[in-house]
Amino acid sequence: MSGLVMPDPALAHSKGLYATEAEARERAEQIGCKAVHENNGRWMPCADERELHQQLRQQ
């Protein structure tokens, strides 16, 4: 066993998932996005996950 632990995909987005659209919109403004999107009943900053990841890499 190598000891390498792969993160749960849900945890990978834990900092980007919000219960309300308003929370996601506030975070979107902080990171430079103008839109939000819904993902499985939760809200995420930016128009889509691709844009979210691009913005986060620039931080």
Q: Where are the domains of the chain?
A: 16-58
- Tell me which residue of 46, 48, 49 sits closest to 35, measured CA to CA: 46
Q: What is the pLDDT of residues 14-32, one digit of tens each?
A: 568 999 999 999 999 999 9
Q: Are 51 and 33 in contact (CB under 8 A)?
A: yes
pLDDT, the chain, mean: 82
Q: Are 21 and 47 in contact (CB under 8 A)?
A: no
**pLDDT level of residue 35 (50, 70, 90 thresholds):** very high
Q: Is the pLDDT of residue 4 over 50?
A: no
Residue 28 tokens read as 């979107």
